[in-house]
Amino acid sequence: MRTGHPFCIHNLNYRRLHTLPFRLADVNLSGGGGLLERLRHMTVTEIKEITKSRVKVAIDGEPAFVLYKGELRAYGIKEGQEIREEDYQTILTQILPKRAKMRALNLLKSRAYTSFQLEEKLTMGGYPREIILEALSYVESFGYINDSQYAADFIEYNKEKKSRNRMAMDLRKKGIPDVIIREAMENAEGADSEELEKTQIVRWMEKKRFTPHTATLQEKNKMTAFLFRKGFSIDTIRNVLSLDITSI
């Protein structure tokens, strides 16, 4: 039986992050070349403060990236002026890829993320799309994000208290593709999945102090609606309502 926080993704390599022998300078800085195609005569059209230390930079009217104020001064980036090509290349191929990878690694130290969730976090940080994809590929290469394992662990922990539909809905919200969800469900549940759902329904009934054979039609309809919202199918709910729950 598991103890502590239920969802630390014990089967992955996340804990290795705490002892990973890397330095900032060791992070692979390759990539970002797709962004460099826009490099000719670019004008900084807006510099917008987002925190006391960071600003969002727009180039030619389009959001470009987020920098620290000290970096603005270091590269002489000013609103209304052109950004030097060599400075732009340095930002895109060195500063931002390194920072995005380190940000991803730091996020994964505290909890597990799906690819979708981690991408959302990096997008909120103002990183360009190409650099986000590079950072995701980087952490995935170490096994620090693995949507299949995430789904398997999520189902393993929740299968005794959540319906299959509810678990599938929760995983979709986390960005897990349906094909991975189906595979994880099949591997985790096997032939006992229907009986497990019946047991879950009985537990909810007991928790609500609901007794099918003494309940009125109105009370049964109310309980059916409640269980349906929990993700159980109407057929399974009706099946359990017709049983003597003391025999389950």
Does 28-141 carry CATH code 1.10.10?
Answer: yes
- Determine the average pLDDT of the residues in 58-86: 95
CB neighbours of residue 200 within 10 Å: 23
To which H or E segment does residue 116 belong? helix 115-124
Q: To the nearest whole number, what is the mean pLDDT of the chain?
A: 81
**At residue 123, does pLDDT exceed 90?**
yes
Instruction: Give residue-wise pLDDT tens across range 137-191.
Output: 999 999 999 999 999 999 888 877 787 888 899 999 999 999 999 888 888 766 4
Comparing CA positions, the residue from 242, 198, 196 lying closest to residue 220 is 242
- Residue 126 falls in which region: left (phi positive, over 0), alpha (psi -120 to 50) or beta: left
DSSP string, 143-197: TS--HHHHHHHHHHHHTTTS-HHHHHHHHHHTT--HHHHHHHHHHHHGGGHHHHH
How far is 151 from 23, CA to CA, in rounded Å?
Answer: 31
Give the three-state DSSP class for 32: coil
Domain locations along the chain = 28-141, 147-191, 195-247
3-state DSSP: the chain helix, strand, coil percent, rounded to 5?
Answer: 60, 10, 30
**pLDDT tens-place string over residues 206-248:** 777 787 777 888 888 888 888 888 777 787 777 777 764 444 4
Residues 167, 150 contacting (CB under 8 angstroms): no
